[in-house]
Amino acid sequence: MASVADLVADARQSYRNPTEEAIFGTDDAGEIASALQAVVASTVGTVDEGIFYLIGVGVVAAVRLKSGQAVVVKVHRYNVSLQRLTSVHAVQAHLAAQGMPAPRPLGGPTPVGRGIAVVEEYLPASGAAGREPAVRRSMARGLQSFIATASAMQPMPDVGERDQVRPKDSLYGEPHDVRFDFAGTSAGAEWIDSLAAAALARLECDLPLSVGHLDWRVENLGFHGHDISAIYDWDSVWLAPEPVAVGQAAAAFSTDWRVGPSTFPTVEDMAAFVGDYEDARGRPFTSTERAVLDAANLYLLTYGARCEHSDHTRFELTAPKPFADLLRARDSTPLG
C-alpha cells in the first residue's frame, strides 16, 4: 500500500517539476499530499491509499478511499477558472449520461493553492498504438462523437474559446508548461515563428463554434482493445470550429510521450485521420473548412516545435526533434 506522500516523492526522483511549486507554493511532498487528500476528503471521503501521481501541466493523482471507491483528483494551473471548469463538468456529465466513456464529476471545482482542483471517478484503461489503422479510425470516430454529442447541448456550454486566452499581439500566448521560455529562446526559431504567423492569419474565419477536445491524442485516452474506454485531460475542452479541433487532433493523435518520438504521426497518417473523421461525419469538409483545418494543423505543429526548440536551447538537449521534423515535412504537403 503506497501513501500519497510516497507517490509524490517518487515522482520527482528523476526530475523536479516546477509545476508543483507553481501550484502549491511548496515542493514538500508531505504538504502536497495533504493538500490533495484534503480536497478529496471534502468532496467524497477519506483517502486510504494512493494509486498513482503524475505531474504535467497540472498534477493528477488517483487514490482509493476508505470505502474502497477509486477516484481521481486533478489540480489545474493553466487556463482555467471556476466558471470554466464548472462548464467542463457539465459536458463530462452530459457525455457520461449519453453512454460515452467520460468520467463522472464527483464534486465542483475547488481552489487549492494557486490552482483549482476537481475530483472525478477513476476509469482505468489500457493504452494503444495510435498509428495502427484500427486505433486511428476509433479515435476519429470518438472525436466526431464527442463533438456532435457535446455540441448538441442547449444552451452551448460556456467552456470558453481557446483563442481568447492568447493576446492578439502574441503568436503563442503563455506556454502551457512553466519550463518553456519562448522569449528567451527566440534565436534560431524564426522559421517556426514565420509559419505560425502564416497559420494564425489563415485561422480567421466565421465558422460556427463546437465543443471540442483540443488535445485528442492516444495518451489522453484509455482503450479496451482498439476501442476508446476512457477520456482524460478535460481541461483541453474548448469552443472551437469543428475543423480546428480536427486539424489539431490530426497533428498529434498518435503521439504518446510515455513511449517517445516513434509515436508521432507522419503526414500520411495525419491525412488518413482526417479522412477517417470525414467518414464518421458522413460528409467531407468544404473547401473553406479544409483551409481552416489545414491552418489549425500547421499551427499546432509550430507550437510543438517552439516548445521543442525552447527545451533544446535551455537544456542543451541533443534528443530528436519530432515536431520540427514533421513540421518541415508537413509544410510542403498541405492537408487542405
pLDDT digits (tens, 9 = 90+) for 210-262: 999 999 999 999 999 999 999 999 999 999 999 999 999 999 999 999 999 99
Do residues 254 and 266 make contact, with C-beta atoms less than 8 angstroms apart?
no
Q: What percent of the chain has pLDDT over 90?
A: 87
pLDDT tens sequence across 108-137: 899 999 999 999 999 999 999 999 999 999
Cα–Cα distances (Å) from 234 to 47, 92, 246, 253, 326, in that order, read: 23, 8, 17, 16, 26
Q: Is the pLDDT of residue 14 over 80?
A: no
Confidence of residue 107 (pLDDT cuts 50, 70, 90): confident
- CB atoms under 10 Å from CB of 42, counted, come to 12
Q: Is the pLDDT of residue 15 over 70?
A: no
Q: Looking at domain 4-121, which CATH architecture does it have? A: 2-Layer Sandwich (3.30)
The CA angle 2-178-147, to the nearest 5 degrees, is: 80
Three cell numbers, residue 111: 481552489
| Structural domain spans, the chain | 4-121, 133-331
- Select from 1.10.10.10, 3.40.50.720, 3.90.1200.10, 3.20.20.140 the CATH code of 133-331: 3.90.1200.10
The CA angle 31-35-38, to the nearest 5 degrees, is: 135
Q: Where are the alpha helices (DSSP H) in 47-132?
A: 82-97
What is Dmax (Cα atoms) for the chain? Answer: 57
Q: Is the pLDDT of residue 302 over 70?
A: yes
